[in-house]
């Protein structure tokens, strides 16, 4: 089969910026040196553009996991132009298809089943799905967002202003335009490009699947560091409407922290979170599947399976009992009703649940 035509604009863009970052940036550093201002600007603009993609393009516009004040949407639109990853409208359209048809080589724009290179960058180098490039049916809601449409219309000029104009201005203020263009412009662009591309490539290849194995998405704490917290991709693909990717306090998710900060200052509202019960049940289901696969072939497999299923059902009941009582307690508190009895019951159920979880852990650990 003939391969689709090459997209030369993208090929040249990626090749020239990559080579420039790999050759020009170190050459200038060795010859003239960089100062602290260039390094600070590099880090600041890397976060500004990266977080505009993750908190803006991804969690706000593609998945609508929260609502945001226009001032933040404007910043995300500018930061998204700085990141040079197409307009928010186009990006979100691609991304919604990615979730809907994940791993489907014909439909998923960056299907991980096509391999690392394709899902990382190859998908942008040829006209693989040209028939839908201008089809924005799946982002009709975003077409009502004036800032999204303004960015889409003026994308080319915004992208030039942000990537050349802004670093040049900073460099002029600091007294070395070329140093700033190379560090805050070029190197920053290439680093952020590949770090965010890792979410489509590596985050579908490398890591654990604690919540679902129905798609290739993985949870990976190391990757989270390079992707502004998007490394918890297995969680994200099953609970895509959650504004968090790293749900535990110890997980590195600066995108979530930014949204939290926006919420504290009133710039973000209606943050959506998945009920904890659903998360626990998904995790439990995966543990059951995994253990089942391991014991099935054992000599006394049937006997173990029976025990496993009994314990699983018991734990499932305990989980729903606990969360049901917990919800009743919250309702009672909200309505200012007396809730001493309820509180005791919740505490008791919590202890029971912890015990069941310990049993489950011991049982499954035997076959891990
Ligand atoms: Zn997503
Ligand atoms: Zn994905």
Residue 2: its pLDDT value, please? 84
Cα of 355 vs centre of ligand 2, distance in Å, is 35
pLDDT digits (tens, 9 = 90+) for 254-278: 999 999 999 999 999 999 999 999 9
Average pLDDT over residues 37-48: 98
Average pLDDT over residues 189-216: 97
Question: For all residues of the chain together, what is the average pLDDT?
Answer: 96
Residue 332: its pLDDT value, please? 92
Residue 269 bridge partners (DSSP): 67
Where in the chain are the domains?
Answer: 8-269, 276-365
Cα of 197 vs centre of ligand 2, distance in Å, is 10
Residue 270: its pLDDT value, please? 98
Average pLDDT over residues 208-222: 97
Residue 37: its pLDDT value, please? 98
Cα of 220 vs centre of ligand 1, distance in Å, is 15
Residue 36: its pLDDT value, please? 97
Terminal CA-to-CA distance of the chain, rounded, Å?
45
pLDDT digits (tens, 9 = 90+) for 116-168: 999 999 999 999 998 888 899 999 999 999 999 999 999 999 999 999 999 99
Cα of 94 vs centre of ligand 1, distance in Å, is 10
| Interior/surface letters 134-146, b for 16+ CB within 10 angstroms, e for the rest | eeeeebeebeebe
Cα of 105 vs centre of ligand 1, distance in Å, is 17
Residue 110: its pLDDT value, please? 96
CA 315-219-267 angle, to 5 degrees, is: 95
pLDDT digits (tens, 9 = 90+) for 326-354: 999 999 999 988 888 899 999 999 999 99
Q: Determine whether 364 is exposed, middle or buried from the number of CB atoms within 10 Å of its CB (0-12, 13-18, 19+).
A: buried
Distance (Å, whole) CA 204 – CA 211 = 14
CA distances from 295 to 305, 337, 360 (A): 7, 49, 15
CA distances from 224 to 114, 135, 176, 276, 314 (A): 23, 32, 34, 22, 34
Provide CB contacts within 8 A for 50, sequence distance 6+. 83, 192, 195, 196, 228
Distance (Å, whole) CA 256 – CA 231 = 12
What share of the chain in percent tops pLDDT 90?
90
Cα of 137 vs centre of ligand 2, distance in Å, is 21
64-78, 154-168, 286-300: least confidently modelled range: 286-300
Cα of 204 vs centre of ligand 2, distance in Å, is 6
State the ligand closest to the CA atom of 234: 2
Distance (Å, whole) CA 132 – CA 137 = 10
State the ligand closest to the CA atom of 58: 1
């Amino acid at each position: 089969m003939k391969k689709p035509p090459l997209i030369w604009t993208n090929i040249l863009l990626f090749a020239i910026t990559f080579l420039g970052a790999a050759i020009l940036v170190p050459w200038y550093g060795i010859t003239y040196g960089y100062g602290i201002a260039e390094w600070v600007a590099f880090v600041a603009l890397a976060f500004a553009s990266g977080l505009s993609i993750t908190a803006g393009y991804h969690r706000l516009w593609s998945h609508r996991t929260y609502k945001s004040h226009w001032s933040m949407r404007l910043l995300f639109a500018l930061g998204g132009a700085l990141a040079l990853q197409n307009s928010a409208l186009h990006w979100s359209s691609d991304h919604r298809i990615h979730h809907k048809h994940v791993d489907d080589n014909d439909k998923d724009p960056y299907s991980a089943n096509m391999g690392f290179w394709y899902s990382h960058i190859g998908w942008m180098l040829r006209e693989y799905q040209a028939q839908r490039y201008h089809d924005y049916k799946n982002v009709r809601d975003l077409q009502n967002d004036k800032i999204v449409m303004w960015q889409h219309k003026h994308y080319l000029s915004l992208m030039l202003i942000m990537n050349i104009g802004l670093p040049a201005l900073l460099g002029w203020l600091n007294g070395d335009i070329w140093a700033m263009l190379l560090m805050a412009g070029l190197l920053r662009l290439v680093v952020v490009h590949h770090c965010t591309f890792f979410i489509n490539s590596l985050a579908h290849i490398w890591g654990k699947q604690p919540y679902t194995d129905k798609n290739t998405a993985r949870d990976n704490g190391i990757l989270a560091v390079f992707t502004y917290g998007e490394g918890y991709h297995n969680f994200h693909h099953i609970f895509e409407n959650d504004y968090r990717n790293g749900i535990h306090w110890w997980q590195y998710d600066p995108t979530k922290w930014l949204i939290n900060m926006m919420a504290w200052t009133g710039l973000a509202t209606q943050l959506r979170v998945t009920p904890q019960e659903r998360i626990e049940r998904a995790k439990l289901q995966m543990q059951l599947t995994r253990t089942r696969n391991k014991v099935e072939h054992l000599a006394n497999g049937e006997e173990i399976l029976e025990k496993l299923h009994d314990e699983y059902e018991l734990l499932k009941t305990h989980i729903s009992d606990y969360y049901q009582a917990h919800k009743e307690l919250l309702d009672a508190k909200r309505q200012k009703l007396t809730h001493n009895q309820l509180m005791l019951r919740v505490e008791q159920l919590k202890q029971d649940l912890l015990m069941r979880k310990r049993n489950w852990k011991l049982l499954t650990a035997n076959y891990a």
